[in-house]
Chain A
Amino acid sequence: MGWFKRLKDGIQTATRNKKEAPEGLWYKCKRCKETSTMKELKENFFKCPQCNYHVRIGSEDYFGLIFDGVFEEMFMDLRSQDMLNFVDLKPYKKRLDDAYNKTGLTEAISVAKGKVNRRPLVIAAMDFSFIGGSMGSVVGQKIAMAIDHCRENRIPLLIISKTGGARMMESAFSLMQMAKTSAKLSQLAKHKIPYFSLLTDPTTGGVTASFAMLGDINFAEPEALIGFAGPRVIKETIKRDLPEDFQTSEFLLEHGFLDFIVDRKELRERISDLLSFFDV
Chain B
Amino acid sequence: MVFLDFEKPLEKLYEQLEKLKQVGEEGIVDVSETVKELENKIKNTRKEIYSNLTGWQKVQLSRHPERPYTLYYIREMSRKFVELHGDRCFKDDKAIVGGLANLDGQTVMIIGHQKGVNTKMRQYRNFGMANPEGYRKALRLMKMAERFDIPVACLIDTPGAYPGIEAEERGQAEAIARNLLEMAQLKVPIVCVVIGEGASGGAIGIGLGDRVYMMENTWYSVISPESCSSILWHSWDYKEQAAEALKLTPDHMLEFGLIDDIIKEPLGGAHTAPEEMAKLLKRQIKKAISELQEMSVEDRIEARINKYAVMGVYGTAEEDSLMTEKENQ
**Chain A residues packing against B (C-beta within 8 Å):** 76-81, 83-84, 86-89, 106, 136-138, 140-141, 144, 166-168, 170-180, 182-187, 189-190, 205-206, 208-214, 227-229, 233-234, 237-238, 242-243, 246-247, 251, 255-257
Question: CB distance A177 to B311 under 8 Å?
Answer: yes
Chain B residues, CB < 8 A from A84: 245-247
Chain B residues, CB < 8 A from A80: 314-315
Question: A-B pairs with the 3 shortest C-beta distances?
Answer: A229-B163, A137-B312, A182-B180
Complex: how many Å from CA A84 to CA B205? 24
Is residue B41 contacting chain A, with contact meaning CB distance below 8 A?
A: no
CB neighbors of A among B272-324 (8 A): 304-305, 308-309, 311-320
Complex: how many Å from CA A214 to CA B174? 7
Residue of A81, A171, A234 most packed against chain B (CB within 10 A): A171
Question: CB distance A257 to B253 under 8 Å?
Answer: no
Complex: how many Å from CA A211 to CA B227? 23
Question: CB distance B168 to A186 under 8 Å?
Answer: no
Closest chain B CB from A99 CB (angstroms): 13
Question: CB distance A172 to B258 under 8 Å?
Answer: yes
Query: A80 — nearest CB in chain B belongs to which residue?
Result: B314
Complex: how many Å from CA A208 to CA B256? 25
Question: CB distance B316 to A172 under 8 Å?
Answer: no
For A182, give its contact among B170, B184, B314, B318 (CB under 8 Å).
B184
Chain A residues, CB < 8 A from B318: 77
Complex: how many Å from CA A141 to CA B314? 9
For B164, give its contact among A172, A183, A187, A237 (CB under 8 Å).
A237
**How would you classify the secondary structure of chain A's contact residues: helix, strand, loop or mixed?**
helix
Q: What would 20 more interface pairs be, CB under 8 Å, given A88-B238, A178-B177, A237-B162?
A: A79-B316, A81-B315, A137-B311, A141-B312, A166-B223, A172-B252, A173-B312, A178-B176, A179-B204, A183-B308, A206-B200, A208-B177, A209-B205, A212-B177, A228-B172, A228-B201, A229-B163, A233-B163, A251-B169, A257-B171
**How would you classify the secondary structure of chain B's contact residues: helix, strand, loop or mixed?**
helix
Question: CB distance A246 to B168 under 8 Å?
Answer: yes
Question: CB distance B304 to A183 under 8 Å?
Answer: yes
For B314, give its contact among A137, A166, A237 (CB under 8 Å).
A137
Is residue B208 contacting chain A, with contact meaning CB distance below 8 A?
A: yes
Question: CB distance A171 to B222 under 8 Å?
Answer: yes
Complex: how many Å from CA A37 to CA B205? 46
Q: Given A89-B232, A172-B258 in contact, is the A183-B312 Cβ separation under 8 Å?
A: no
Query: A171 — nearest CB in chain B belongs to which residue?
Result: B246
Chain A residues, CB < 8 A from B222: 166-168, 170-172, 174-175, 206
Question: CB distance B184 to A173 under 8 Å?
Answer: no
For A209, give its contact among B201, B242, B245, B252 (CB under 8 Å).
B201
Complex: how many Å from CA A104 to CA B223? 28
Chain A residues, CB < 8 A from B314: 78-81, 137-138, 141
Q: Given A81-B313, A172-B221, A183-B180 in contact, is the A208-B173 Cβ separation under 8 Å?
A: yes
Question: CB distance A247 to B180 under 8 Å?
Answer: no
A-B contact list, 7 entries, CB within 8 Å? A76-B317, A88-B242, A172-B253, A183-B308, A209-B201, A212-B177, A256-B171
